[in-house]
């Protein structure tokens, strides 16, 4: 889902809010998450999931697959997302229902 689609969906559910207000809400939301992750804090939204920073070690033995040349990869930080149990259950339930529909269509 893109930012524009999200704004359209929010506008349908909240017609009293203007498009510019919804854009401001989404901007504040995303900037809050970004700032927290920049400060290496964990961001958790119940029912959705958790964003956290994971430190990756430096690697002296990495190779460029095209040239087989040794390269150095410095220590770095990656952002990871872990979905909540509720979201995982919802996704897998939808997947199971879709699979069941496909099985009935095949038979």
From CA 71, how far away is CA 98, in angstroms rounded?
A: 45
**pLDDT score at 1:** 87
The partner residues of 76 in beta bridges, in order of sequence, read 56
Q: What is the mean pLDDT of residues 3-11?
A: 93
**Structure confidence at residue 10 (pLDDT):** 93
Beta bridge partners of 62: 71
Query: Which among 96, 56, 62, 59 has a CA at the least distance from the CA of 79?
Result: 56
- State yes or no: pLDDT of 104 exceeds 90: no
pLDDT band at 60 (very low <50, low <70, confident <90, very high): confident
| pLDDT on residue 39 | 95
Backbone angles phi, psi at 15, to 5 degrees: -65, -20
| pTM listed for this prediction | 0.70
């Amino acid at each position: 889902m893109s930012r524009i689609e999200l704004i359209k969906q929010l506008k349908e559910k909240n017609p009293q809010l203007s498009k510019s207000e919804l854009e401001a809400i989404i901007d504040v939301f995303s900037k809050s998450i970004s700032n927290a992750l920049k400060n290496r804090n964990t961001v958790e939204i119940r029912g959705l999931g958790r964003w956290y920073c994971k430190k990756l070690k430096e690697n002296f033995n990495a190779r460029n697959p095209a040239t087989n040349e040794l390269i150095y990869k410095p220590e770095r930080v990656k952002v990871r997302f872990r979905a909540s149990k509720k979201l995982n259950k919802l996704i897998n339930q939808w997947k199971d229902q879709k699979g069941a529909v496909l099985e009935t269509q095949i038979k």
